[in-house]
Amino acid sequence: MRGVVIVSAKERETANVGAGLWKGIGMWAWILFRISGLVLAGYLFVHIWVISQGRVSGAETLDSLFETFDKPFLVFLDTMLVVAVLYHALNGVRVLLMDMGIGIRRHKAVFWACMLVAAATVWVFAYKAIPFIL
């Protein structure tokens, strides 16, 4: 069989890719991937509702909603939204690479590299958001 990578049972156990093996980084990556997906889907509905208020209730209502979004707690929630987007996107890239057979033996290193990129990006976003919180 050409193009088929044969992985032994021991390698599958140590690879810990996916949710079938409930231990280690693979389990948490799988759970957080699902949670971040649900958060993003919920945010999509809230976002559509907020934007629709401009058409339904007028510009004044939309302006008052936007003023509400400048509150420190909501700026913090925006930062958490950036965290969810980055985690979901970069973990999705990792999963895609695994599906294509790239980095299977080093999936933990790929995961931590993706999380390092996400952490650096969140740090930049949080640094830029500090004036809105203080």
pLDDT in tens, 21-64: 556 777 788 888 999 999 999 999 988 988 888 788 888 888 88
Q: What is the pTM of this model?
A: 0.66
Looking at residue 14, its pLDDT comes to: 54
Long-range Cβ contact pairs of 129-132 (< 8 A, separation 24 or more): 129/75, 129/78, 129/79, 132/70, 132/72, 132/75
Which pLDDT score is estimated for 69? 82
CATH class of the region 9-133: mainly alpha
Ordered by start, the domain boundaries in the chain are 9-133
Of the candidate ranges 10-14, 78-82, 94-98, 113-117, the one whose mean pLDDT is the lowest:
10-14
